[in-house]
Amino acid sequence: MGSKGTIGILTGGGDVPGLNPAIRAVTIRAVKEGYSVIGIKNGWKGLINIDRDAPANEQRYAEALDIKTVHPIGRKGGTFLHSSRTNPLHVSKKNVPAHLKHKYDNDDNDLTDEVLKNLEYLNIDCLLPIGGDDTLSYAAHLHKMNFKCVAMPKTMDNDVPGTDYCLGFSTCVTRTVHYTNQLRTCAGSHERFLVIEVFGRYAGFSALIPCLAGAADRCVIPEYKFDIERLTDLLVSDKKNNPSDYSVVFVSEGAMFEDSEMIFQGNEVDGFGHKKLGGIGESVSSQLKKISPQFNNGESVHVINQRLGYLVRSGDPDALDSMISMAYANLAMNMIIENKSGVMVCLRKGRYEVVPLDVVVSYKKLVDVSKFYDVERYRPIYKNFEDKPMWII
């Protein structure tokens, strides 16, 4: 143990560029301030799988971190601590660790007692979880159980309440613009619609911001159900007005047709009750091709359908995610040094701040359609930028 105690770090949910630089910055600052650091492997899954009866050298879900260990990871994407979508409040019978099955045999089990005992076993005084609203909602629960937590927001969707910015979002936007521009060559060569499915279960930021940056003509988002005939009409018009005779639309994975709900891949749910999304881009593409003759003098318009998926969360962080991860890490360490708990570091209107951690469960952060989305034209509203922060939405 360091002279000032031990900090635990974990990453939960989907991986994003910016996690490794954050882990690195926390560790370096913590060690220099006199703390020890333990990395928890596989997020909350790691904290339910610690076997307190096993020797220390057999604990595969916990790793002591030092400056030498984290130094090489700062420029790399993903998370070297690995991740999971485990929720200790709701662990199915099949996912209860083998050494705990004799104690927990319900279909749905709350393993919070084990989490708290494992944190004590590891001598962790304060936990620094990095994640989206699901991961951080359990951190808020631990804080209510009187365990110290200082949190850091990350997600491609940029939908964690209480902050304008989540780690990974800038790289997501950068990658989306880059790959869309690459695909334009195919769309233009064949005079087609280009349909690109992007992240966004409940919030459409990862479609709206790249569209605002000029990467697409239109976008459809979860916050507003769209009329497929209206979208087809708009895209045909965009195509005719483009000298290269093609048009582009972003489709959030949680977007919905006017007369339907979200499209899922099967009925299996994760620990936080979410079904796996996927298929809306394919459905939109099929309908566009079918309906297009109505608006294109009887001729069908063929479609290139591409789901960007993991491409936008892979690889190195961009400049903003590299910088903000370092700033978030040092702000989080300031809170720990000041013995603060139950807070989340954040960016609001371009300034680094902290907010109460329970903000992550207080509301849903969604696109304000009335301010930022043109429901007639299915695109961002391109005005009223004065006095807005950089991430205007």
Active-site annotation, residues: 157
Q: Are 14 and 274 in contact (CB under 8 A)?
A: no
Sign of CA dihedral 153, 327, 16, 283: positive
How many angstroms separate the CA atoms of 105 and 333, rounded?
A: 39
**Nearest-angstrom CA–CA distance, 235 and 292:** 9
Quote the CA–CA distance of 360 and 50 in Å, as a whole number: 27
**If we measure between CA atoms, which residue out of 46, 36, 108, 38 comes closest to residue 82?**
46
CA 43, CA 49: separation in Å to the nearest integer? 10
Residues 6+ apart with CB under 8 A from 207: 198, 200, 216, 219, 220, 221, 250, 251, 252, 255
Counted residue by residue, the chain has a size of: 393
Residue 270 has, within 13 A of its CA and on its CB side, a CA count of 17
Q: Can you tell me the distance from the alpha carbon of 352 to that of 110, in angstroms, rounded to the nearest whole number?
A: 35
How far apart CA 359 and CA 1 sit, in angstroms, is 32
Beta strand extents in the chain (DSSP E only)? 6-11, 36-40, 62-65, 91-92, 108-109, 126-131, 148-153, 193-198, 218-220, 247-252, 264-269, 275-277, 303-307, 343-348, 351-356, 373-374, 379-380
- Sign, CA torsion 314/317/320/321: positive
Measured in whole angstroms, the distance separating CA 25 from the mean position of its chain's CA atoms is 20
Angle between helical axes of 169-190 and 205-212 (0-180°, round to 10): 60
User: Rounded to whole angstroms, how far apart are CA atoms 111 and 91?
Assistant: 7
Q: What is the spatial distance between Cα 240 and Cα 261, in angstroms, rounded to a whole number?
A: 31
Q: How far apart are CA 82 and CA 60, in angstroms?
A: 12
- Separation of alpha carbons 130 and 160, rounded Å: 11
